[in-house]
Amino acid sequence: MDKTVGIFVYGTLKVGNHFAKNFDALRLASLPGKIKGTLYRGPFFPMLKCDGAHDVEGELHTYKRPSEVLAMMDRIEGYEEGRKEGNFYVRKKVEVTLENGRKEKAFVYEFNESVENAEAIPSGRWD
């Protein structure tokens, strides 16, 4: 496995938010970026659908110790690799556009349940 892993975060894992402190010692970099999708307001967290509809703003984080980081994030996001159903979020690869226009591939966690009654966030930014 690579020595680092890129993960696009858009909510509680952004620097300064609730879960970010769990990863401070492992985070090598955090750059502003965006992906295509729709962001929805959840009760305590945002929900992303990678539907390509809008820009979703967030941060591209680069971490050392990829296996450890992914295992920790998978637990937070309710994701178990290889499980066919029952995942709260799913981890997938997306293309992130950085502020300077450069594009990079990274993992993101996409909400795996219905957003039928959820409110979309028009700005694509969860604060």
Q: What is the CATH number of the domain that holds 85?
A: 3.10.490.10
Q: In the prediction, which pLDDT does 36 show?
A: 97
The number of domains in the chain is: 1
Question: What is the spatial distance between Cα 98 and Cα 120, in angstroms, rounded to a whole number?
Answer: 23
Q: Is residue 124 part of a domain?
A: no
Average pLDDT, integer, range 74-81: 96
- pLDDT tens by residue, 90-109: 999 999 999 999 999 999 99
Considering the domain boundaries, does residue 17 fall inside one? yes
Strands 119-120 and 46-64: unpaired
In a domain, 127, yes or no: no
Residue 18: the pLDDT is: 87
Domain that holds residue 83: 4-118
pLDDT at 53: 83
Instruction: Give the mean pLDDT of 19-25.
Output: 94
Structural domain includes residue 43: yes
Bridge partners of 111? 89
39 near 46, Cβ under 8 Å? Answer: yes
Place 46 in a pLDDT band, splitting at 50, 70 and 90: very high
Q: Which helix H or strand E contains 53, and what residues bound it? A: strand 46-64
> Is residue 16 situated within a structural domain?
yes
